[in-house]
């Protein structure tokens, strides 16, 4: 007999039954993470913080892993969906160790707050309540990769790198067209 998870879905939306059915069919096994995230996306059209927390809790998978998988694979759509995703952890440990400064730096440099995407669709900024890596706070998940003890400068540098890569690609295309 499969033991059902003790946590409740984020809402009483009936679509959660589809997700639960997927997890039940797999015996709530951790290896069904990707399949389960697929069923969330199929049911709701995208993944968000609440759904990720729910899946992590139900499958007993660290939230850091769920965030990593969902932001790394391009088949998953996070809401909102920029080309690149930075998830800043705002859980207690990260808050104390500098998450507010990371968010302020994003606002200052790119003009976006949590849940927003830059006007060019390049970078989405998200927040999470705890991604399960408190020992290396503050933590950001940059395009699916966990970055612990990250500084403001490192975070902004990574985001700038994304933009530079995009610009270099665009310039390369323009040159080829000439």
Burial of 111 per CB tally in 10 Å (0-12, 13-18, 19+): exposed
Question: Does 140 engage in binding with ligand FES (CB under 6 A)?
Answer: no
Question: Does 139 engage in binding with ligand FES (CB under 6 A)?
Answer: yes
Question: Given candidates 133, 142, 155, 159, which one binds ligand FES under the rule CB under 6 A?
Answer: 133
Question: Measured from the CB of residue 165, what is the shortest distance to ligand FES in angstroms?
Answer: 27
Report how far residue 81's alpha carbon sits from residue 59's, in angstroms, rounded to the nearest whole number: 25
| Number of residues counted as binding ligand FES (CB under 6 A) | 12
Task: Write each residue from 94 to 123 as x if it is in contact with ligand FES (CB under 6 A), else as -, in one continuous string.
Answer: x-----------------------------
DSSP string, 151-175: -HHHHHHHHHHHHHHHHHHHHHHHH
Question: Measured from the CB of residue 74, what is the shortest distance to ligand FES in angstroms?
Answer: 24
Report how far residue 33's alpha carbon sits from residue 39's, in angstroms, rounded to the nearest whole number: 10
Question: Given candidates 11, 92, 164, 167, which one binds ligand FES under the rule CB under 6 A?
Answer: 92
**Closest to ligand FES by CB, 82 or 132:** 132
Burial of 37 per CB tally in 10 Å (0-12, 13-18, 19+): buried
């Amino acid at each position: 007999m499969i033991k059902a998870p003790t946590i409740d879905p984020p809402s009483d939306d009936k679509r959660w039954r589809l997700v639960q059915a997927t997890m039940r069919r797999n015996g709530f096994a951790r290896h069904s993470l990707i399949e389960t995230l697929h069923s969330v996306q199929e049911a709701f059209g995208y993944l968000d913080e609440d759904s990720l927390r729910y899946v992590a809790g139900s499958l007993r998978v660290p939230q850091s892993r769920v965030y990593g998988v969902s932001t790394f694979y391009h088949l998953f759509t996070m809401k909102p969906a920029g080309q690149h995703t930075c998830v800043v952890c705002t859980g207690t440990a990260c808050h104390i160790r500098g998450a507010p400064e990371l968010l302020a730096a994003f606002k200052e440099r790119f003009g976006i707050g949590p849940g927003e995407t830059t006007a060019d669709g390049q970078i989405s900024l998200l927040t999470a309540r705890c991604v399960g890596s408190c020992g290396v706070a503050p933590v950001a998940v940059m395009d699916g990769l966990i970055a612990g003890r990250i500084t403001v400068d490192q975070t902004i540098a990574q985001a700038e790198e994304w933009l530079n890569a995009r610009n270099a690609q665009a310039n390369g295309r323009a040159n080829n067209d000439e």
